[in-house]
Structure 1
Amino acid sequence: MSDLNTDICIIGAGSGGLSVAAGAVQMGARVILIEGHKMGGDCLNYGCVPSKALLAQAKAAKARGGAEPQDFRTAMDHVNATIATIEPHDSVDRFEGLGVQVIQGYAQFTTPHTVKVNGTTIRARRFVIATGSSPLVPPIPGLDGVPFMTNETLFTQHDCPGHLLIIGAGPIGLEMAQAHRRLGARVTVIDGASALGREDPEATELVVTQLRHEGIEIIEHAQVEKVSGRAGAIEVQVKGGTIFAGTHLLVAVGRKPNLERLNLDAAGITHDRNGIKVGADLRSTNRRVFAIGDVAGHGQFTHLAGYHAGLVIRSILFSLPVRARHDHIPRVTYTDPELAQIGLTEAQARQKFGGQLSVQRIGYDQIDRAQADGRTDGFIKLMVARGRPVGVTLAGAQAGELIAPFALAIANNLKLGAIAATVLPYPTLAEIGKRAAGAYFSPKLFDNPMIKRVVRMVQRWLP
Structure 2
Amino acid sequence: MKSDKGIVDLLVIGGGTAGIVGATTAAALGASTVLVERDRTGGDCLWTGCIPSKAILAAAKRAKLAQELIGGIPEQEMTGDMPGLTRNRNHQSGFAAAREHVRSAISIIEPVDSPAALEKAGVNVRKGSAKFIAPGVAEIDGETIAFRQALIASGAEPASPPIPGLAEATTVTSETIWELEEAPARLLVVGGGPVACELAQAFARFGSKVTVLARSQMLPKEDRDAAAVVRQSMEADGVQFFENSPVERFSATDGVSRAGLADGSQHDGDVVLIAAGRRPRTEGLGLETVGVDCDDTGHVIADVKMRSSNPAIWAAGDVTANPQFTHLAGVSASAAAFNAILGLGRSVSTVVPRVTYTAPEIAAVGITSAGQGRYRVSTIQHRELDRAITEGTPDGLTRLIIGKGGRIVGGTIVGPRAGESLAELTIAVEKGLSTRELAGVTHPYPTYNDGVWNAAIADARSMLASPAAKTVLKVLVRARRWLLDRRQGRKTDS
Q: TM-score, normalised by structure 2?
A: 0.89
SS at match of 2:151: strand
Q: 2:197 aligns with which of 161, 166, 174?
A: 174
Say yes or no: does 1:50 pair with 2:52. Answer: yes
Say yes or no: does 1:424 pair with 2:446. Answer: no
Aligned-partner Cα distance in 1 for 2:480–2:155: 63
SS at match of 2:146: strand
Residue 237 of structure 1 corresponds to 260
Instruction: Please list, as runs of the form range in 1=range in 2, the aligned pairs for 1:1-400 lying within 5 A after superposition.
Output: 5-66=7-68, 68-229=91-252, 232-272=255-295, 273-326=297-350, 328-346=351-369, 349-351=370-372, 354-355=373-374, 357-386=375-404, 387-400=406-419
Aligned-partner Cα distance in 2 for 1:310–1:459: 58
Q: C-alpha deviations, 1:259-281, integer Å up to 9, x for none?
A: 11211101111102151111222
Aligned-partner Cα distance in 2 for 1:296–1:416: 34
Residue 491 of structure 2 corresponds to none
Aligned-partner Cα distance in 1 for 2:29–2:363: 35
Conserved in 2, the CA contact under 8 Å of 1:76 and 1:157? no
Matched residue type, 2:444? P
Aligned-partner Cα distance in 1 for 2:274–2:236: 23
Q: C-alpha deviations, 1:29-78, integer Å up to 9, x for none?
A: 10000011121100111001100000000011111235743100000110
Q: Larger Cα Rg: Structure 1 or Structure 2?
A: 2
Residue 75 of structure 2 corresponds to none
Aligned-partner Cα distance in 1 for 2:343–2:279: 31
User: In 2 relative to 1, CA 337–152 (structure 1 residues): closer, same or farther, beyond 3 Å?
Assistant: same
SS at match of 2:323: coil
- Cα deviation for residue 461 of structure 1 reads 2.2
Aligned-partner Cα distance in 1 for 2:388–2:289: 57
Matched residue type, 2:381? G
User: In 2 relative to 1, CA 339–231 (structure 1 residues): closer, same or farther, beyond 3 Å?
Assistant: farther
Say yes or no: does 1:459 pair with 2:476. Answer: no
Q: C-alpha deviations, 1:371-408, integer Å up to 9, x for none?
A: 11111111111011122111111112211111110111
Conserved in 2, the CA contact under 8 Å of 1:405 and 1:419? no
Matched residue type, 2:59? Q
Q: C-alpha deviations, 1:186-229, integer Å up to 9, x for none?
A: 11111121111121111111111221122111111122111121
- Cα deviation for residue 82 of structure 1 reads 0.5
Conserved in 1, the CA contact under 8 Å of 2:170 and 2:270? no
- Cα deviation for residue 457 of structure 1 reads 2.5
Higher mean displacement: 118-127 or 51-60: 118-127
Q: C-alpha deviations, 1:235-259, integer Å up to 9, x for none?
A: 1111243210111111000111111
- Cα deviation for residue 409 of structure 1 reads 1.7
Say yes or no: does 1:439 pair with 2:458. Answer: yes
SS at match of 2:427: helix
Unaligned runs of 5+ in 2: 69-85, 489-494
Say yes or no: does 1:414 pair with 2:433. Answer: yes
- Cα deviation for residue 446 of structure 1 reads 5.1
Q: 1:404 aligns with which of 423, 444, 448?
A: 423
Aligned-partner Cα distance in 2 for 1:52–1:365: 27
User: In 2 relative to 1, CA 395–259 (structure 1 residues): closer, same or farther, beyond 3 Å?
Assistant: same
Aligned-partner Cα distance in 2 for 1:131–1:439: 46
SS at match of 2:92: coil
Q: C-alpha deviations, 1:329-377, integer Å up to 9, x for none?
A: 011111111111100121xx425xx44x211011111211111111111
Alignment RMSD (CA, Å): 1.7
Runs of 4+ in 1 over 6 A off after TM superposition: none
User: In 2 relative to 1, CA 92–438 (structure 1 residues): closer, same or farther, beyond 3 Å?
Assistant: same
Residue 79 of structure 2 corresponds to none
Q: C-alpha deviations, 1:296-318, integer Å up to 9, x for none?
A: 21110001101102211221222
Aligned-partner Cα distance in 2 for 1:114–1:82: 38
Conserved in 2, the CA contact under 8 Å of 1:146 and 1:231? no
- Cα deviation for residue 439 of structure 1 reads 1.1
User: In 2 relative to 1, CA 231–86 (structure 1 residues): closer, same or farther, beyond 3 Å?
Assistant: farther
Matched residue type, 1:426? Y
Conserved in 2, the CA contact under 8 Å of 1:4 and 1:121? no
Q: TM-score, normalised by structure 1?
A: 0.95
Matched residue type, 1:398? R
SS at match of 2:336: helix
SS at match of 1:275: coil
Higher mean displacement: 415-424 or 201-210: 415-424
Aligned-partner Cα distance in 2 for 1:231–1:120: 48
- Cα deviation for residue 4 of structure 1 reads 5.2
Matched residue type, 2:258? E
Aligned-partner Cα distance in 1 for 2:111–2:427: 30
- Cα deviation for residue 231 of structure 1 reads 7.2
Conserved in 2, the CA contact under 8 Å of 1:231 and 1:248? no
SS at match of 1:276: coil
Conserved in 1, the CA contact under 8 Å of 2:401 and 2:410? yes
Aligned-partner Cα distance in 2 for 1:446–1:238: 52
Matched residue type, 1:17? G
Matched residue type, 2:429? I
SS at match of 1:433: helix
Matched residue type, 2:161? P
Aligned-partner Cα distance in 2 for 1:424–1:101: 46
